[in-house]
Structure formats: structure tokens, C-alpha cells
């Protein structure tokens, strides 16, 4: 008689599918956004690349906390201001040969001294470079242009301290009006949607509204009231939808065209 073979019961195990956690995208500050944009212009200079389109002279950046647009000179704009002020003999700015270089374990600090020979004033500009660059994957690679970029940033920081504030303000407004600016986004994530699927206005949309309103004579502190008075549309920066932003932009652009 054949023996019965005992078999073990196999337990069914439920395998839960792996779910990826959404990647958290860190919002950039105005300075960080402008500094990153400047690096692209600086690399064009360092490598002798000719940009496919004209580089911005001014950056604009919408600050969520204050509800105001922040503007600042781009690297190209800094050099253009330097050239124009010296040409008009308003200043006699020069980068001197006084340079400080300090090498750290994972960084390099560079200091540059700029001087205005006409007004007899000078200023140090400091910048830090990192020879190791972190990629999106987390991998560290060598940045062979770290020193050159830090040198350009140090020059930029020194010159910006010596530019006459009232002259800069007028030049920035002129370049904004002539479209020689670039709008930077404070957050790299896509525009947010709520549970109902309503698409909110992006920071770039809001920055464009702010810029056109300023061109039309609005004041930074009460820009929302100015827009409401001119367009008859309610302005709420926090809950503004894409559709609302489009309507406001349409009205403001019509007003600008009539001006």
C-alpha cells in the first residue's frame, strides 16, 4: 500500500504595491533664484557661448509672503550698468587687482575690491564656490568652473554696492518696460490644484500682473487696490485662479496698449 505524501499548505501573502512618496520641491528665495539664473549667464561668458536669445538685464520674482514683486539686476545687467555709467561719466568704476582667495575643505571663498575713482569710494564683494556639485540624483561631481563663477559673483557683488541707487532704479524701470527682463519662479513645482481640480495662478502669472501694473503707475504697497480700480476685478493673491489671472492680464494689457 502506497504511503500518503503529506503536503504543507502554502499561506497566501498579500503584497502591497510600493508607492512613491511625492518629491518635495524646495521653494527658492529671491536671492537663490537670481543667483542660479546668473550662473547660466556667467557660464556663457566663461565658455564663450553665444546665447540663442538675448539675455535678461533684469530679473523679477514674485514674493508670496509680501505679495510684492522683487526686481534685481542680472549679471548681464550689472555689466551694462557699469558700462553705461562710466560712458556717461557718472562714475569711473573699476575692478582692482586686490583679490582675496581662501581655500576650505569643500569650498573656495573669493573677495574682489571694486573702486569708483570719481567719487573716491570702494567696496569688497565676496562669493563662495563649491568644487563639488550635487546632481539631482544625489551624486557629487567635480565643478571645474567653481572658482571662475565665484570670481564673477564677487565682482558682481562689489560693483552693485557702488552703483548710485536712484540711477539703478530708473534703469531697471526702463528695461522692465522694454521687455529686457526675465520672470523667475520661486518654486519649481507645477501649479497647484485643489480637490475640485481648480488650477491656481502660477507665481509667474502674478509677477507679470505686478510688472504691468507697475508700468501703468501702480505703487508696490497698494498694487492690488490699483489693479481693482483700473480693471474692476477683485485681486486676491492667495486664492487667484488661472482664469482670474488671465482676465486681469487681458484688462491690464489693453490699458497698456491704450497708454
Q: Using the 8-state DSSP alphabet, how is residue 222 labeled?
A: G
Q: Could you give the C-alpha distances from 132 to 43, 113, 137, 167, in angstroms and in order?
A: 16, 26, 14, 38
Does some domain include residue 136?
yes
Does some domain include residue 17?
no
Higher pLDDT, 187 or 48: 48
Backbone conformation region of residue 74, classed left if phi is above 0, alpha if psi is from -120 to 50, else beta: beta
Residue 114: per-residue pLDDT: 96
Same domain, 116 and 146: yes
Other C-beta atoms lying within 10 Å of the C-beta of residue 103: 11
Does some domain include residue 144?
yes
Residue 189: per-residue pLDDT: 35
Same domain, 133 and 172: no
Same domain, 228 and 111: no
Residue 13: per-residue pLDDT: 52
Q: Is 18 exposed, middle or buried, given 0-12, 13-18 or 19+ CB atoms closer than 10 A?
A: exposed
Residue 2 has pLDDT above 70, yes or no: no
Provide the CA 60 distance to its chain's centre, in angstroms: 7
Going by their DSSP bridges, the two strands 181-184 and 58-63 should be labelled as parallel
Q: Alpha-carbon torsion 34, 47, 78, 133, what sign?
A: positive
C-alpha 134/C-alpha 128 separation (Å) is 15
Residue 151: per-residue pLDDT: 96
What is the band of 54 on the pLDDT scale with cuts at 50, 70, 90? Answer: confident
Residue 83 has pLDDT above 70, yes or no: yes
Does some domain include residue 1?
no
Report the number of distinct structural domains present in the chain. Answer: 3
Same domain, 172 and 210: no
Residue 24 has pLDDT above 50, yes or no: no
Instruction: Tell me the average pLDDT across 74-84.
Output: 96
Same domain, 47 and 99: no
- In the predicted model, what is the mean pLDDT of the chain? 80
Same domain, 194 and 223: yes
Does some domain include residue 154?
yes
Instruction: Tell me the average pLDDT across 73-96.
Output: 96
What is the band of 118 on the pLDDT scale with cuts at 50, 70, 90? Answer: very high
Same domain, 65 and 105: no
C-alpha 124/C-alpha 159 separation (Å) is 9
Same domain, 101 and 138: yes
Q: Could you give the C-alpha distances from 24 to 67, 187, 189, 201, in angstroms and in order?
A: 23, 11, 9, 20
Alpha helices in 97-145 (DSSP H): none
Same domain, 119 and 66: no
Instruction: Tell me the average pLDDT across 53-79.
Output: 85
Say whether pTM exceeds 0.75.
Answer: no
94 in helix, strand or coil? strand
Does some domain include residue 20?
no
Does some domain include residue 131?
yes
Q: What is the pLDDT of residues 177-186, one digit of tens each?
A: 898 988 887 5
Does some domain include residue 10?
no
Residue that the C-alpha cell 572658482 belongs to? 147
Q: Radius of gyration (Cα) for the chain, nearest Å?
A: 26
249: containing domain: 190-258
Same domain, 232 and 106: no
What is the band of 126 on the pLDDT scale with cuts at 50, 70, 90? Answer: very high
Same domain, 71 and 174: yes
The dihedrals phi and psi of 8, each to the nearest 5 degrees, come to: -85, 140
Same domain, 251 and 199: yes
Q: What is the pLDDT of residues 208-237, one digit of tens each?
A: 787 788 778 776 557 788 888 888 888 887
Residue that the C-alpha cell 499561506 belongs to? 11
Residue 124: per-residue pLDDT: 94
Q: What is the pLDDT of residues 140-175, one digit of tens each?
A: 788 889 999 999 999 999 999 999 989 999 999 999
What is the band of 9 on the pLDDT scale with cuts at 50, 70, 90? Answer: low
Instruction: Tell me the average pLDDT across 77-92.
Output: 96
Amino acid at each position: 500500500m502506497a504511503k500518503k505524501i503529506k503536503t504543507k499548505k502554502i499561506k497566501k501573502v498579500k503584497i502591497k504595491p510600493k508607492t512613491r512618496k511625492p518629491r518635495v520641491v524646495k521653494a527658492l528665495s529671491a536671492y537663490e533664484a537670481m543667483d542660479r539664473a546668473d550662473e547660466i549667464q556667467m557660464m556663457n561668458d566663461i565658455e564663450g557661448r553665444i546665447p540663442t536669445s538675448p539675455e535678461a538685464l533684469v530679473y523679477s520674482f514674485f514674493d508670496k509672503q509680501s505679495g510684492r514683486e522683487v526686481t534685481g539686476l542680472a549679471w548681464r545687467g550689472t555689466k551694462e550698468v557699469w558700462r553705461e555709467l562710466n560712458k556717461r561719466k557718472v562714475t569711473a568704476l573699476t575692478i582692482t587687482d586686490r583679490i582675496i582667495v581662501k581655500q576650505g575643505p569643500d569650498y573656495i571663498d573669493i573677495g574682489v575690491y571694486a573702486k569708483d575713482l570719481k567719487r573716491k569710494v570702494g567696496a569688497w564683494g565676496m562669493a563662495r564656490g563649491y568644487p563639488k556639485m550635487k546632481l539631482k540624483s544625489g551624486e557629487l561631481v567635480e565643478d571645474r568652473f567653481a572658482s571662475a563663477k565665484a570670481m564673477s559673483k564677487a565682482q558682481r557683488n562689489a560693483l552693485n554696492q557702488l552703483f548710485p541707487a536712484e540711477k539703478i532704479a530708473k534703469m531697471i524701470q526702463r528695461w522692465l518696460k522694454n521687455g529686457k527682463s526675465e520672470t523667475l519662479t520661486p518654486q519649481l513645482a507645477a501649479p497647484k490644484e485643489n480637490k475640485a481640480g481648480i488650477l491656481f495662478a502660477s507665481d509667474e502669472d502674478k509677477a507679470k500682473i505686478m510688472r504691468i501694473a507697475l508700468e501703468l503707475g501702480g505703487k508696490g504697497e497698494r498694487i492690488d487696490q490699483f489693479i481693482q480700480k483700473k480693471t474692476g476685478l477683485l485681486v486676491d493673491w492667495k486664492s487667484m485662479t488661472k482664469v482670474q489671472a488671465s482676465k486681469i492680464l487681458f484688462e491690464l494689457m489693453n490699458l497698456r496698449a491704450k497708454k
